[in-house]
Amino acid sequence: MTTKSNPLRKAFSMVEVLAAVSIIGIIAFLAIPNIIAIKKDSERNLAISRAEAVNMAIVSYIQSNGKSAVAPGWTSLTDQQRFTLLIPYLAFAPALLTDFVPGGYTMTLPPSLTSLTKSVLTDTSAAATIAY
């Protein structure tokens, strides 16, 4: 006994559509946590990269102007004022330090230039300092 396919059938059945939608949903369910983790890791890497760029800008600033000339005035400045001094030594530098550091992170510039130390990078969501 042979069966002929209906020549009028030109659409998917409801079961086929539901099966396709459920497969797409399962794939999305498995992929979304990985995408979120990748985004978080990339933001962390960007924050670290920007902190390292600021550290290099501090070294360039000291080399250009002389340590004895810049160290005394550095301690009385705020982080934003210090960042403003470093803008010419950064490849990408908006006017505000908060715009330079990715969201969810804060950066504190070294309080003194007499002993050269790194900028402090903090993850505000975990309230933890990032070692880099």
Q: Which of 5-9, 11-15, 31-35 has the lowest mean pLDDT?
A: 5-9
Q: Is the pLDDT of residue 8 over 70?
A: no
pTM score of the predicted model: 0.76
Q: pLDDT band at residue 3, thresholds of 50, 70 and 90?
A: low
Q: Is the pLDDT of residue 59 over 70?
A: yes
pLDDT digits (tens, 9 = 90+) for 92-110: 899 999 999 999 999 999 9
Averaged over 11-29, what is the pLDDT? 94
Q: What is the pLDDT of residue 117?
A: 94
In 3D space, the residue among 73, 49, 50 whose CA is nearest the CA of residue 61 turns out to be: 73
